[in-house]
A and B are shown apart, each in its own frame.
Chain A
Amino acid sequence: MAHLGSGALILALILAIYGIVATLFGARRRIPELLLSGYRATYAVAFLVAIALIALVVSFLRHDFRLAYVAGRSSRDMPLHYVIAAFYGGQEGSLLYWTLVASGLGALALYLHRRSDRALLPYMNATLLSVLTFLLLVLTVVSSPFRLLPVTPPDGAGLNPLLRDPGMMAHPPFLLSGYASFTVPFAFGMAALITGRLGSDWLRAIRRWTLLAWALLGLGLLIGAWWAYHVLGWGGYWGWDPVENLALLPWLTSTAFLHSVIVQERRGMLKVWNLALLLATFALCIFGTFIVRSGMLSSVHAFAVSAIGHWFLAFLALVLVVGIGLLIYRLPGLQSERQIESVSSREAGFLLNNLLLTAIAFAVFWGTTFPLFSELFWDTRITVGPPFYNRVIGPLLLVLFLLMAIGPLLAWRRTDVRLLLRNVGWPAAAGIIVGLVGLVLLSRPWAAIAYAVTVFAVGVTLQEFWRGTVARRRNARENVLVAAWELLRRNNRRYGGYLVHLAILLMAVGIIASNAFQLERQFVLRPGEQGTIGPYTVIYRGLEDRRTADAEIVAAQVDIYRGQRYAGTVESFRFFYRNYEDQPTARMGITLVGMDDVYVVLDRWEDDGTASLRVYVNPLVIWIWIGGVVFVLGTVTLFWPQPVPALARVPQSVAGATSEA
């Protein structure tokens, strides 16, 4: 199996290099056969990488501990699903998985666009294969998953306990495939730059691919937050840790891209900006991997520091030099076709949205890399923590939410301001009322303001849905449910986008509350004793020892009362996995009472059963996960096949958002 895998990788590397040469040569000399052979090389690379991955998974399933990678990450007593998931539990395997996603999606794109975008394809293929060549080079030369051990151990070390969690099944695959799938839009963007075909063709080609990558990355981040909240035991879901930030950065820039690309589609503006965003997004994916692997920043994600950091740095430099060089070379062809005519136009709204998103991305980037820069210039490493991000990004997000509300109401070219004001009347009133009530009732003014803005934005978005539905019902004589469904189906880009807006706002509800009103207390209790936190009483019932195939477990049972009423029992665990006995892994006991999460962490205990428990009350966190579900619904809507040819709808939409809605 090991030989099959490493052989497949080497063959894939050779084919990838051949493919680059063949496509470039074929395109220059106009030899169709050579071009076709270049494309087939890509299919073959994808196939070979898939074989290598299957070989790796089979090695895991067979417990083939001759492989260093398998021995280091699995053991015989691990449950089957973790044995399979272990293949991306380390650097080599995750890189292989990345390569598979990039080559698979690349091959798929090549197949789907084989007729529609002929002129772009050779250079798209060459760019794609260049990225794959780099990855395969790293996989074969520096960090091969198929390295053999000199002596075969009888059993493997097992997967790190923290990775033995359902979150492990979903978070890394989504995040990594998000990173990897940005390769496809990047390849199309480079092809547009190289060929000079900077019209709308390449944009149409990549919108869906960018959307896919963006949705995968977003889901990966969300699942990561869920995992952190349920396993890591510090009562939070996002810690502004460098590794999290680095994954957030490409998501922010691609969000900006997905918005500004609409302006280019409709109005032919922001061309340079869009290409720059695309380039930045891909570069940030590489940058993230490089920083994580180079060990330059101290993170709670203790990735193995390894030599591939340098490789990624070199590749990043190459991407940036080539990308920026091409962009400058093509500047004359990237003139805007129109000018922005009014500050109160949809295009100006998108421009501001982009400025805010990039400003947020910049602040996150700055905060994350500040230790490096401060050491360079002031000779001391200064790190910034969550308060920095909250202070800088909180206000920016609120302005962004305001824009999220007003933006969709703006018309292209110019908006009648009086009409706009009339349109936001009810939501604005709702927002102001919530804000005033909040100022009176809530102890934190900033939370009241944040809620006012959020309610306003939710109000406008729901109003848009309502108006669209009512208009459809009247015109098409459908009942409300059919009208709402048809609205989503027929205008999927518009209303799918609104669903995503709604998702972000729902998450904001939870984020604001858990930041402003989290309660936290530490209790030391003997069995039967109780403590109170906020409106809750916790009664500690005692410890219990349990045993599974691969771990010994200590479980603390805690009853939770709200006032006098029994609200539930939670169990908070410490797992002692075999081989990792010095690393007792916590599993939180969380129960939802009304809208509050009561979150119990078992800290330490003594033989007589006395335990120290840390209890958090996290209000409204459930809304973050509800927002996550809406986010999925929104992205599914965005991907929904369009029943009407896209071209037929364009003139109608340009006519103005306010009238249409």
Chain B
Amino acid sequence: MSERREASGGEMSSALVTRTSARGLRVDVRLFGIAVIIAAAVGYLMYTGLQGTAASYFVTVSELQAKATSVDGRRVRVGGDVVAGSIVRGGPGEPIHFRISDGVSELEVVYAGVLPDIFAEGRHVIVEGLYRTGQPIQADSVLTQCPSRFESVPTTATS
């Protein structure tokens, strides 16, 4: 049954395909032009998106200190473990101070937002914020990860 339908469809189509006209070409060119415009717009948007504050350098603590001059004044995203005993919580509403370490060097972090649920000493965290040489990072986002113990744990804190 399906054989027959396909055959008749094929006949019809071949008759139509042969009728390629100059107008068809013009339409193709125009559609191609639109496609190019969309592609260019997307390319432009993506390029400018990467230039602005949307992008940040993802580094370890040691890498950050090695590259301090080149990333000064830029957004960075730094991963490290929370150093035991370094958490100073202050009272409610005051920012939290803590240090993170990658085993080699340490970095001071100040964070004023709501901490993620599984934030604790020793946990691996990723902090994101503006970096100024010699100053603690003013983080506007702290992510926690503890892959060794939890699975499919969505946690986040962004201020």
Contacts and interface: CB of A to CB of B under 8 A. Distances in A.
Given A239-B156, A384-B50, A523 B93 contact: yes
B85 to A, nearest CB: 15
A583 B117 contact: yes
A298 B126 contact: yes
Contact of B57 (A199, A381, A388): A381
Contacts of B46: 363, 366-367, 388, 392
Interface of chain A, main secondary structure: mixed
Interface in B1-50: 2, 5-6, 9, 12-13, 16-17, 20, 23-24, 27-28, 30-31, 34-35, 38-39, 41-42, 45-46, 48-50
Interface residues of A, number: 84
A166 interface: no
A102 to B, nearest CB: 19
A51 interface: no
Contact of A388 (B42, B54, B147): B54
Nearest to A574: B117
B86 interface: no
A484 B16 CA distance: 38
A343 B27 contact: yes
Interface string B139-159: 000011111101111111111
B52 interface: yes
Interface string A492-503: 000000000000
Interface in A135-177: 160-163, 172
A351 interface: yes
Nearest to A385: B54
Interface string A565-592: 0000000000000000011111000000
Contacts, number: 214
A338 B92 contact: no
Given A337-B16, A396-B42, A583-B118, A302 B58 contact: no
A291 B114 CA distance: 28
B80 interface: no
A385 to B, nearest CB: 5
B77 interface: yes
B97 to A, nearest CB: 14
A391 B48 contact: yes
Contact of A392 (B38, B45, B53, B156): B45
A387 interface: yes
A367 B38 CA distance: 18
Contact of A163 (B24, B56, B145, B153): B153
Given A302-B145, A583-B117, A610 B91 contact: yes
A396 B79 CA distance: 33
Interface string A232-254: 11101001010100000000000
B110 interface: no
Contacts of A10: none
B30 A343 contact: yes
A522 B45 contact: no
Contacts of A383: 55-58, 77
A585 B117 contact: yes
Given A304-B150, A341-B24, A524-B92, A355 B55 contact: no
Interface residues of B, number: 66
A89 B92 contact: no
A515 interface: no
A162 B157 CA distance: 13
A234 B156 contact: yes
Contacts of B120: 582-583
A91 B24 contact: no
Given A298-B126, A335-B17, A582-B118, A162 B58 contact: no
B130 interface: no
Given A160-B150, A300-B155, A606-B92, A340 B54 contact: no
Given A162-B155, A359-B39, A396-B42, A302 B92 contact: no
A162 B118 CA distance: 10
A381 B56 CA distance: 8
Contact of B31 (A117, A201, A348, A356): A348
B25 to A, nearest CB: 9
**What 10 A-B pairs are tightest by C-beta distance, nearest first?**
A524-B93, A337-B13, A612-B92, A388-B54, A381-B58, A387-B54, A300-B156, A388-B49, A199-B6, A302-B145
Given A302-B154, A335-B17, A339-B27, 15 more contacts: A239-B156, A298-B126, A338-B13, A340-B28, A343-B34, A359-B38, A384-B56, A388-B52, A392-B49, A583-B120, A601-B114, A603-B114, A604-B92, A610-B92, A612-B92
7 contacts: A160-B152, A300-B155, A303-B147, A352-B34, A392-B45, A603-B92, A606-B91
